[in-house]
Amino acid sequence: MRRAPAARRQRCGSRGLSLDTLPPLREVIARHGLNAKKSLGQNFLFDGNLLDRIARVPGPLEGRTVYEVGPGPGGLTRALLRAGANVVAVERDDRAIPALAELAEAAGGRLRVVDADAMTVDAASLAGEGAHIVANLPYNIGTALLTGWLSSEAWPPWWASLTLMFQKEVAQRLVAAPGSSAYGRLSVLAQWRTTARIAFTVPPRAFIPAPKVESAVVHLVPTSAMSSATPAKLSALTAAGFGQRRKMLRASLRGLPGALEALEAQGILPEARAETVPVSAWAAAAALL
């Protein structure tokens, strides 16, 4: 008899559950009363092909650890497990914990569910060095989590890559080039230490409930930092520069001593505006502060 592929062979739990015999997500959601909560920024994905596509973005996951935030009913979690990953999933919605417990039983020890707030847990300790972070992030905390992961004092970071779902507008800011309307503080922070790309976009109709905006999956891979600047210095410099982005730098940086001189040392004129300054110049200037 032909055996199932290694990534799909699972040890069954006490009730005979396996990844191949799990009930459909819609049934799980109905049974556990998991209607999406706006207060938690929840929008669920049901399309298995789309979820598998997200799980392929980081590359091969067989035997690798994946850290997932906000799994909800576990749609993306299933896809990650199908890809062969060992998943650490952090969920603060108590309603989802029983459904995730069923999925953990079916996963044969490859899923650990942590009932906690992702904004307060020590993700590095939970997931371990070299984990991939893959998540359909709740809209209300997505940018804050990303900023925290990009602002680690230690670099390279504990994570191997980030594969994250954002509103398309946020995704465009992450990859924006100088001179574009989307280019700003988030662009500088992301591109200072990582290579960032939009893997693909996702229409509103793919979600339940459908958001009012398009979404996009972004993939970020850590690289060597462009300078010896600290995240705090870069944040202070870009906050001042982009805080009044329509003004010339000589005006917007007036309140930050040494900032204008540090940018002038990179060949940036005082008459320039923040959105025209390349990432490398922001990083080098921040190192001089």
* Chain CA centroid to CA 207, Å: 18
Q: Smallest Cα–Cα separation from 85: which of 68, 99, 69?
A: 68
φ and ψ of 133, to 5 deg = -100, 120
What is the C-alpha end-to-end distance of the chain, expressed in Å? 68
Q: Which residues of 265-279 are buried (b: 16+ CB within 10 A; e: fewer)?
A: eeebeeebbbbebbb
Annotated binding site: 43, 45, 70, 91, 117, 136
Annotated binding site for S-adenosyl-L-methionine: 43, 45, 70, 91, 117, 136
Q: Smallest Cα–Cα separation from 163: which of 271, 273, 255, 66?
A: 66
| Angle, helices 75-82/97-106, rounded to nearest 10 degrees | 10
CB burial of residue 45 (10 Å; 0-12, 13-18, 19+): buried
Do residues 241 and 249 touch, judged by C-beta distance below 8 A? yes
